[in-house]
Structure 1
Amino acid sequence: MGILWLLLKASWVRVVIATLMGIVSGGCSVRLIALVNTTLSKGAMPSAIALFAGLVLLALISGSLAQFLLIDLAQDSVYQLRLRLSQRILSAPLRQLERLGPSQLLAVLTKDVQAISDTVFVIPYICIDIAIIGGCAIYLGWLSGWVLVATVIFMVVAIVLVQFLINAAHRYLRQARREVDRLFQHFRSITDGIKELKLHSTRRQRFFDEDLEVTAAASRYYQKRAFKIAALATGGGQLLFFLLIGLLLFGVPQVAPTAQSVLPAYILTLTYLLGPLENLIQQLPTLANANVSIQKVNEMGLTLAENAEIDTAVWQTSKADWETLELRSVVHSYQGEEANHHFTTGPISLTLKAGELIFIVGGNGSGKSTLAKLITGLYIPESGELQLDGVPIVDANREWYRQYFSAIYSDFYLFERLISAEDLTLDAQAQEFLKRLELDQKVTVQSGQLSTVALSQGQRKRLALLTAYLEDRPIYLFDEWAADQDPIFREIFYTQLLGDLKQRGKTVLVISHDDHYFHVADRMIKLNYGQIESDVSGDFSTKEKSHESS
């Protein structure tokens, strides 16, 4: 039902047309069987050849049209599913995405969508098989009503038995799917933690033996159980089908001798049915697997949609001449995986002024990055509010507000495509700034595209600085940007690049532990356990001189 609903949502009109074409194709196939039976029992009629050729041609054309329609429809539905799910991820609150984690999101976007896509591919053939089965049932009823009733009763019992097995397989598939989420998490641990694993043999071995292998084995166990039960259902279905033919051959003549005349036609039709029925039964595990994936996709989609941010257009461009940004009693809480792990940032009241160069400092876990995400609008306060020049930031204008910021977080992602406020001179601007960043010998820019991002972490951060520079937003935020830089470029960042941004009228927020460069700040905000411990403005150069003399 999940696959059918997916197709109907894509285009119910095409589903109806394809169904009608399938019925025509199935009807032609059944009429061919009837023609073959009549010819075998009574001899060929003068018009039989023309009728045979016409039925074959009509069955081919209608069947092909139905398949073409369903192929287009199936691929369109998967296309829409991918885009809809991606859009919901993009519109979900950042905090919710962080709770779900990249492993769960990737499992849905890759494994589940692929499972649905693989199943959708066979839907056209399943529909044709169903049409043929339905047409054959009508023909069997025309031959002998009571034999059809007996056949249907037998097949209903057989279907119930097969469905019982399929339901059991479905339960194991759901359990296997839960293990896949854990498996993707372990795969991410391998890719992200490979250095740590290589350096610690005990950790590596225990991770492999107690985490990865255990989860992979559990997934294998549930998959094996599911597909073995499905194979049993397939074999059982075939056995019951041949049992039906045996009952018709040897049982019906004993019970109703008058029905013996239609038995050859019955046996011929049922034998023809074997192919479509086998195909249908063999696809049952695939359909069950796809339904599990659809449930997972729907759960993820609903989870994301429940708290989705309002999709609003940027109703006006960000102003370079803004004056004040206020945080008024802003609070944000973080609930860790453990029940007793609860951290609250705030309430924080803070006023930022245009043109300031502000350092945000504090120990690890003091709330610096959380405050940065609150300021940039990525985290939505649980209480309190943000105001820009007296305008409250709410759902309706949050997207507009975010356009004021260019940010490089400690866990930044580097896109190869550059975007500039002045696209006509993008390549020239980028190449000039690459020289300042001492990357012009490693990276080139052509048509707004970076030639490579496969660089060291420090060099990648410089490229991220390039992208932020080209965006030319009013407010810049750097979260521990200098942590991966060599001493020479760290000096350039603090003493030249930050000053250049300030001279261009930008407001700059810098999260930093580099107390050696605190003197370049106009203002320093210190956090401790989610609270502002101090907020000091002034000339910090004397403190720096004292630091150097000591």
Structure 2
Amino acid sequence: MPTVSEGADKATEGLGERLLRLIPTRKQQQNDQSPPSKPPLVAQLFKLGSQDSLARLAWIAVLAAFCGNGVLLLLNMEVKQLERHDYSTLTALLFAGLLVVYRLSQNHLIRKSAEAIESALDRQRQRVVGDVLNLSLRDVEQLNDDHLRDGVAAQYSALSQTLVPLVAGVEGLILLVFMFAYVVSISAFVGLLTVLVLSVTVIGYLNKSKQLDAEMSDASQADAHFRQLTDAIVHGAKELQLSLGRRNALQEAMNTSSQAIARGRTRSAAQFAEIIATGTTISYLLVGAVVFIMPLIVNQEGSDISREVIAVIFLLGPIGSVVQAMQQYATAQFALRVINEFEAKVASCRKATESVRGGDKAIPAQDFSELRLEALRYQHLGEQGFAIEQIDLRLKRGQILFLTGGNGSGKTTLLRVLTGLYPRAGGKIILNGQELPLMPPQSYRELFASVFSDFHLFDRPYGLDEQSMQRFDHWLRQLGVRDKLADSLDHLPTAKLSTGQRKRLALAYVLAEKRPILVLDEWAADQDPQTRQRFYEQILPQLKAEGYTIFCITHDEHYFHCCDQRLHMVEGRLSQELL
């Protein structure tokens, strides 16, 4: 799978992908054993036909650097003329013209580069989102929340913030090369001092880069831990309000985590500050050396020293841009490394899932008649992972099944394997007489509508067409929750709904999809007695009459008579079957 820094497929990669490949991560630098199969840089520089060519941007950067250097040359020429009490209108006009071209070319370079890279990041982000959405539930659970947020959103934002300084730094580096050539032409000694300044700056950055990466990694981990504690404030607000001791302990933990973030970021800032301060100080030392030391070594006229000082002062701008770009380069490398590692993890998960996934032959919902599990087994990851074993089960169209069992007996795990969210480890899933692969296809999962105990309510009714929206509205009214929502159902604010109302909204949503098998995990547990009675004695029979197959986890003993079959689960096995 291509990573951000590697770009998209060679046939479809754009300018942004090629620009991003210019920022290799540390891991790539260590792993790349062979040179990339691409034309040499000199050959690329002559490919000017495309508006999105890397060479075109390179030439624009060269044009900007040429104009910037021309401005310096014209200033020194005018200084000479002024010393002779002369004035050149032509020089002034050329100066203004070069300044305008310099501004336009620099502006175009930065805007075009940023636009191309942002487009590349957008394409990559969309690919990653698609890949993540195609993972199995087990794979998504392996990717912890913070890792997923960083890999899909946070690090892309951090990378975007580095773009303008990085492009400006590259343009500054090219300008620095041009100006250095001019400085050498007027004084070899000043050129030597310039080389010394740049060498010290680069060596200082290289010495600090590994430490910078480690400091940024530590700060990122501390930030992730703090976000987890912040989530506890929102999701554990009730418990915190009821316990001063718990609240104080959480506050202490958050204070400790906040201090760790501050220390990590302070150390990173200190590394950046040392690089920037060293570069800036040496730059000013360069000017001081020209003014105070050079006259002691080289016998020159004051006018020559003035021109050299002007040239060195002009050098300070590009040197500053390069130094700032070094800081942003370290940030970009770190962000790319996190993104690439996340993509590698996603690719690994997808590869493992694809190895047990068969084809995706369409299974029309109306064709469902019978589903059987034979000797099915599944084990959570890890040697000591909980397992369900020797599961034999038959579901027929228009049947109501209840599943009971203690906490941790494997009921929810069974539902997730049954619905194709987890790939089974062994046994068979047979649909209408046809055995399915270990990881059933998407069309199989489309047979199921579910409200799990840890269900999620989306802020919009995604995936519902006009006819489905009419069914959604109908079931909201049937379940007595329509009056809790706005007139328009395009947006679903749920923060003020109770747990029972949220479950009713979730049930209405899945019923609107009209899938043949309804899977419910303790749906009635948070309902009031009237709603619970109506659910078991009216809604379930109605759904059965419409052809739904209903598989419920429940412990409502008073309503066991409402099912066609009741199963009981103990320690990962269906130990008994009660009719």
TM-score between the two structures when normalised by the length of structure 1: 0.88
Moved more, 485-494 or 191-200: 191-200
Q: 1:227 aligns with which of 269, 272, 285?
A: 269
CA contact (8 A) 1:453 1:460 kept: no
Q: 1:326 aligns with which of 359, 364, 372?
A: 372
CA contact (8 A) 1:29 1:55 kept: yes
> Which residue of 1 is the match for residue 250 of structure 2?
207
Q: 1:306 aligns with which of 348, 353, 366?
A: 348
Alpha-carbon distance, 1:533 to partner: 0.7
Distance 1:515 1:90, change over 3 A: same
Indicate whether 1:458 and 2:500 are aligned.
yes
SS in 2 for 1:355: coil
Q: Measure the CA separation in 2 of the matches of 1:197 and 1:433.
A: 36
CA contact (8 A) 1:19 1:127 kept: no
> Which residue of 1 is the match for residue 80 of structure 2?
41
Moved more, 193-202 or 427-436: 427-436
> Which residue of 2 is the match for residue 503 of structure 1?
545
SS in 1 for 2:366: coil
CA contact (8 A) 2:461 2:509 kept: yes
Indicate whether 1:190 and 2:233 are aligned.
yes
CA contact (8 A) 1:358 1:508 kept: yes
In structure 2, what residue type is equivalent to 1:436?
Q
Alpha-carbon distance, 1:355 to partner: 2.1
Indicate whether 1:90 and 2:136 are aligned.
no
Alpha-carbon distance, 1:412 to partner: 0.8
Q: Measure the CA separation in 2 of the matches of 1:302 and 1:524.
A: 44
Q: Measure the CA separation in 2 of the matches of 1:382 and 1:146.
A: 74
Q: Measure the CA separation in 1 of the matches of 2:563 and 2:337.
A: 53
> Which residue of 2 is the match for residue 28 of structure 1?
67
> Which residue of 1 is the match for residue 571 of structure 2?
529
CA contact (8 A) 1:234 1:281 kept: yes
CA contact (8 A) 1:312 1:399 kept: no
Alpha-carbon distance, 1:14 to partner: 4.6
Per-residue displacement from partner, 1:185-221 (whole Å, max 9, x unpaired)?
A: 2122222222222222222222221x32222211211
CA contact (8 A) 1:166 1:285 kept: no
CA contact (8 A) 2:201 2:275 kept: no
Distance 1:420 1:109, change over 3 A: closer
Q: Measure the CA separation in 2 of the matches of 1:71 and 1:313.
A: 41
Q: Measure the CA separation in 2 of the matches of 1:396 and 1:532.
A: 22
Q: 2:429 aligns with which of 376, 380, 386?
A: 386
Alignment of 1:81-160 (within 5 A): 81-144=124-187, 147-160=190-203
SS in 1 for 2:574: strand
Alpha-carbon distance, 1:28 to partner: 0.4
Per-residue displacement from partner, 1:501-530 (whole Å, max 9, x unpaired)?
A: 111111111011112211111111211111
Alignment of 1:312-351 (within 5 A): 315-316=361-362, 318-335=364-381, 342-351=385-394
SS in 2 for 1:320: helix
Distance 1:459 1:79, change over 3 A: same
CA contact (8 A) 1:328 1:348 kept: yes
Q: 1:52 aligns with which of 95, 99, 109?
A: 95
CA contact (8 A) 1:166 1:230 kept: no
- Give RMSD over aligned pairs: 2.9
Q: 2:17 aligns with which of 7, 10, 13?
A: 10
Q: Measure the CA separation in 1 of the matches of 2:164 and 2:519.
A: 47
CA contact (8 A) 2:165 2:321 kept: no
Q: 1:518 aligns with which of 547, 554, 560?
A: 560
SS in 2 for 1:352: strand
Distance 1:96 1:319, change over 3 A: closer
Per-residue displacement from partner, 1:360-409 (whole Å, max 9, x unpaired)?
A: 11000000110100011111113334232233333886111111111111
Indicate whether 1:477 and 2:540 are aligned.
no
Per-residue displacement from partner, 1:51-108 (whole Å, max 9, x unpaired)?
A: 2232122212212221220231232233234323322321222113223332432344
SS in 2 for 1:446: coil
Q: Measure the CA separation in 1 of the matches of 2:491 and 2:240.
A: 34
Q: Measure the CA separation in 1 of the matches of 2:496 and 2:358.
A: 35
CA contact (8 A) 2:5 2:17 kept: no
Q: Measure the CA separation in 2 of the matches of 1:327 and 1:158.
A: 68
Moved more, 322-331 or 137-146: 137-146
Q: Measure the CA separation in 2 of the matches of 1:415 and 1:312.
A: 30
Q: Measure the CA separation in 1 of the matches of 2:156 and 2:280.
A: 31
Structure 1: gaps (5+ residues): 539-550
CA contact (8 A) 1:3 1:120 kept: no
> Which residue of 1 is the match for residue 47 of structure 2?
none
Q: Measure the CA separation in 1 of the matches of 2:359 and 2:307.
A: 67
In structure 1, what residue type is equivalent to 2:66?
G
CA contact (8 A) 1:3 1:290 kept: no
CA contact (8 A) 1:74 1:121 kept: no
Alpha-carbon distance, 1:489 to partner: 0.3
CA contact (8 A) 1:494 1:520 kept: yes
CA contact (8 A) 1:136 1:273 kept: yes
TM-score between the two structures when normalised by the length of structure 2: 0.84
Q: Measure the CA separation in 1 of the matches of 2:142 and 2:72.
A: 59
Distance 1:394 1:268, change over 3 A: farther
Moved more, 303-312 or 186-195: 303-312
Q: Measure the CA separation in 1 of the matches of 2:449 and 2:537.
A: 20
> Which residue of 1 is the match for residue 110 of structure 2?
67
Q: Measure the CA separation in 1 of the matches of 2:462 and 2:542.
A: 20
> Which residue of 1 is the match for residue 313 of structure 2?
271
Q: 1:436 aligns with which of 464, 470, 478?
A: 478
CA contact (8 A) 1:21 1:66 kept: yes
SS in 2 for 1:387: strand
CA contact (8 A) 2:16 2:116 kept: no
Distance 1:28 1:325, change over 3 A: same
Distance 1:432 1:517, change over 3 A: same
Alignment of 1:152-191 (within 5 A): 152-191=195-234
> Which residue of 2 is the match for residue 545 of structure 1?
none
Alpha-carbon distance, 1:417 to partner: 2.9
In structure 2, what residue type is equivalent to 1:463?
L
SS in 1 for 2:73: helix
Q: Measure the CA separation in 2 of the matches of 1:313 and 1:80.
A: 27
> Which residue of 2 is the match for residue 547 of structure 1?
none
Moved more, 35-44 or 101-110: 101-110
Q: Measure the CA separation in 2 of the matches of 1:171 and 1:251.
A: 40
Q: Measure the CA separation in 1 of the matches of 2:534 and 2:423.
A: 34
> Which residue of 1 is the match for residue 33 of structure 2?
none
CA contact (8 A) 1:33 1:269 kept: yes
Q: Measure the CA separation in 2 of the matches of 1:84 and 1:263.
A: 57
Count of residue pairs brought into register by the alignment: 531
Seq. identity, %: 26
Indicate whether 1:468 and 2:510 are aligned.
yes
Distance 1:419 1:260, change over 3 A: closer
In structure 1, what residue type is equivalent to 2:371?
L
